Homo-oligomer: A and B are copies of this chain.
Amino acid sequence: MQIAVLLYDRFTALDAIGPFDTLGRLPDAEVVFVSERPGPVRTDNGALALVADKGLDEVTRPDIVVVPGGPHPELEMENAAVVDWLRAVDAATTWTTSVCTGSLLLAAAGLLKGRRAASHWLYLDRLPAFGAEPTGERVVYDGKYVTAAGVSSGIDMGLGLLGRIAGDAYAQTVQLMTEYDPQPPYDAGSPDKAPAEIVARLRAVNPPGAR
């Protein structure tokens, strides 16, 4: 079983690492970080690089693909090398997954046509242009396509998928080892729960349709 995590310039680290430290604990799985060219790939704020050990041409038949998001998905949505690779490997995956705006890359590859999908709450409105139906759910399963909402939701997706593949007891073991018993100091993690003025301010910076 091979799990390929796609990296690209200005991805968000937690989008990739949430699934990595949950789903990536699958027994006997090989996790491989892959990018257009192998080597260090910088995160959205530039403060960190993760190393992609393989280039796209070296990873041709992963069983699971994980596509993280980032604040500039449009750059990769227009990158034929990445979008073509997603379309090609998807033909043989058992699960094709994304976190955050990673679903926009899957959508741009034509993989979410007629499917329900999640994305970062500020980018949900971008999905219909690609024939996908946005939902406000945290993790959406539609056939072999699993899409998660913003950034941290990849942890919930990773554990859920781990349970489906390796069984509940194994997923619970990983949850316990990662001590995933969340106690957020605030209850502001979704646009329904956060103070209205914070939601409004973020929407003003990222207006629907302007991206």
CB-based contact A185/B202 at 8 Å: no
Q: Which residue of B lies closest to A161 (CB)?
A: B185
Q: Which of A45-53, A73-81, A82-90, A102-110 contacts B (4 or more CB under 8 A)?
A: A45-53
- With A152-B182, A179-B149: A21-B32 Cβ-Cβ less than 8 Å: no
Contact B169 A189 (CB under 8 A): no
| Size category, A interface | 35 or more
Q: Is the CB of A189 within 8 A of B185?
A: no
A6 close to chain B: CB less than 8 A: no
Is there contact, CB below 8 Å, between A151 and B180? yes
A→B interface (CB under 8 Å): 12-14, 17-18, 20-21, 24-25, 30-33, 40, 45, 47-51, 53, 100, 120-121, 138-139, 149-153, 155-156, 159-160, 163, 168-169, 171-173, 175-186, 188-191, 193-195, 198-199, 201-202
Instruction: Taking A13-B20, A169-B198, A172-B194 as given, write out 16 further A-B residue pairs in contact, using a Cβ cutoff of 8 Å, ordered by the A residue number.
Output: A13-B17, A14-B20, A21-B151, A31-B47, A33-B48, A50-B51, A100-B179, A150-B177, A151-B179, A151-B180, A155-B182, A173-B188, A173-B194, A176-B199, A181-B184, A181-B189
